Amino acid sequence: MNKMPLFFVIVVAIIVVAASFRFVQQRREKADNDAAPLMQKRVVVSNKREKVLSDRRSRQQIVAPAGSSLRYDVSFRPENGGLEMTFRLNEKQYHQLTVGDKGMLSYKGSRFEEFTADH
Protein backbone atom coordinates (compact mmCIF):
# COMPACT_ATOMS: atom_id res chain seq x y z
CA MET A 1 0.00 0.00 0.00
CA ASN A 2 2.85 2.36 0.83
CA LYS A 3 4.65 1.74 -2.49
CA MET A 4 1.83 3.06 -4.68
CA PRO A 5 1.85 6.69 -3.38
CA LEU A 6 5.66 6.70 -3.52
CA PHE A 7 5.50 5.64 -7.17
CA PHE A 8 3.12 8.50 -8.03
CA VAL A 9 5.29 11.01 -6.16
CA ILE A 10 8.32 9.87 -8.18
CA VAL A 11 6.39 10.10 -11.47
CA VAL A 12 5.12 13.59 -10.64
CA ALA A 13 8.65 14.66 -9.64
CA ILE A 14 10.04 13.41 -12.97
CA ILE A 15 7.35 15.30 -14.89
CA VAL A 16 8.04 18.51 -12.94
CA VAL A 17 11.81 18.21 -13.52
CA ALA A 18 11.33 17.54 -17.25
CA ALA A 19 8.92 20.48 -17.64
CA SER A 20 11.28 22.78 -15.73
CA PHE A 21 14.21 21.71 -17.90
CA ARG A 22 12.23 22.44 -21.09
CA PHE A 23 11.12 25.84 -19.77
CA VAL A 24 14.71 26.82 -18.93
CA GLN A 25 15.88 25.57 -22.32
CA GLN A 26 13.27 27.72 -24.13
CA ARG A 27 14.16 30.81 -22.07
CA ARG A 28 17.86 30.30 -22.84
CA GLU A 29 17.17 29.94 -26.58
CA LYS A 30 15.08 33.14 -26.55
CA ALA A 31 17.85 35.03 -24.72
CA ASP A 32 20.48 33.70 -27.15
CA ASN A 33 18.36 34.80 -30.13
CA ASP A 34 17.80 38.25 -28.61
CA ALA A 35 21.55 38.67 -28.07
CA ALA A 36 22.54 37.36 -31.52
CA PRO A 37 23.49 39.86 -34.23
CA LEU A 38 21.10 40.38 -37.14
CA MET A 39 22.44 38.26 -40.00
CA GLN A 40 21.53 38.67 -43.67
CA LYS A 41 22.14 36.24 -46.53
CA ARG A 42 21.14 35.95 -50.16
CA VAL A 43 19.07 32.76 -50.33
CA VAL A 44 16.62 30.70 -52.35
CA VAL A 45 13.46 29.28 -50.76
CA SER A 46 14.15 25.55 -51.10
CA ASN A 47 11.27 23.89 -49.23
CA LYS A 48 7.98 24.62 -47.44
CA ARG A 49 6.22 22.29 -44.99
CA GLU A 50 2.94 22.49 -43.09
CA LYS A 51 2.60 20.15 -40.13
CA VAL A 52 -0.70 19.49 -38.39
CA LEU A 53 -0.47 19.91 -34.63
CA SER A 54 -3.23 18.16 -32.80
CA ASP A 55 -3.98 17.68 -29.15
CA ARG A 56 -5.91 14.49 -29.85
CA ARG A 57 -4.71 10.96 -30.39
CA SER A 58 -5.04 9.42 -33.84
CA ARG A 59 -8.00 7.23 -32.83
CA GLN A 60 -9.85 10.28 -31.52
CA GLN A 61 -9.12 12.13 -34.79
CA ILE A 62 -10.93 9.42 -36.76
CA VAL A 63 -14.06 9.67 -34.62
CA ALA A 64 -14.21 13.47 -34.43
CA PRO A 65 -11.50 15.55 -36.16
CA ALA A 66 -10.19 18.34 -33.99
CA GLY A 67 -9.81 21.95 -34.95
CA SER A 68 -6.13 21.32 -35.53
CA SER A 69 -3.56 24.06 -35.75
CA LEU A 70 -0.65 24.06 -38.17
CA ARG A 71 3.07 24.64 -37.82
CA TYR A 72 4.81 26.29 -40.78
CA ASP A 73 8.46 25.50 -41.58
CA VAL A 74 10.42 26.99 -44.48
CA SER A 75 13.92 26.01 -45.61
CA PHE A 76 16.33 28.44 -47.26
CA ARG A 77 19.46 27.53 -49.25
CA PRO A 78 22.25 30.12 -49.58
CA GLU A 79 22.74 31.21 -53.22
CA ASN A 80 26.52 30.89 -52.97
CA GLY A 81 26.42 27.43 -51.36
CA GLY A 82 26.37 26.33 -47.77
CA LEU A 83 24.06 24.60 -45.35
CA GLU A 84 20.30 24.84 -45.72
CA MET A 85 18.58 26.70 -42.87
CA THR A 86 15.06 25.95 -41.64
CA PHE A 87 12.91 28.40 -39.69
CA ARG A 88 9.42 28.30 -38.18
CA LEU A 89 7.22 31.08 -39.59
CA ASN A 90 3.74 32.34 -38.87
CA GLU A 91 0.94 31.61 -41.34
CA LYS A 92 1.04 35.00 -43.09
CA GLN A 93 4.82 34.88 -43.64
CA TYR A 94 4.60 31.27 -44.84
CA HIS A 95 1.96 31.95 -47.49
CA GLN A 96 3.88 34.94 -48.90
CA LEU A 97 6.75 32.62 -49.93
CA THR A 98 7.02 30.31 -52.92
CA VAL A 99 9.61 27.59 -53.43
CA GLY A 100 12.22 29.04 -55.79
CA ASP A 101 11.89 32.65 -54.56
CA LYS A 102 15.24 34.43 -54.33
CA GLY A 103 16.00 37.27 -51.99
CA MET A 104 17.53 38.48 -48.74
CA LEU A 105 16.96 36.48 -45.55
CA SER A 106 17.32 38.26 -42.19
CA TYR A 107 17.60 36.19 -39.02
CA LYS A 108 18.87 36.37 -35.44
CA GLY A 109 20.30 33.11 -34.13
CA SER A 110 17.61 30.53 -34.85
CA ARG A 111 14.80 33.10 -35.16
CA PHE A 112 13.43 34.15 -38.56
CA GLU A 113 13.15 37.93 -38.88
CA GLU A 114 12.29 38.73 -42.50
CA PHE A 115 12.58 37.62 -46.12
CA THR A 116 12.68 40.28 -48.83
CA ALA A 117 12.11 38.77 -52.28
CA ASP A 118 13.85 40.10 -55.37
CA HIS A 119 11.51 41.65 -57.92
- What share of the chain has pLDDT > 70, as a percent? 85
CA 16-28-25 angle, to 5 degrees, is 30
CA–CA dist 14, 6 (Å, integer):
12
- Domain 38-54+68-117 is found in CATH 1.20.1270.360: no
The neighbouring-strand residues paired with 69 are 53
Mean pLDDT, the chain, integer = 86
> Strand, coil or helix: what is 70?
strand
**pLDDT, average across residues 50-67:** 64
Contact 94, 48 (CB under 8 A): yes
> What are the extents of the domains in the chain?
38-54+68-117
This prediction's pTM:
0.69
Element (H, E) at 93: helix 91-96
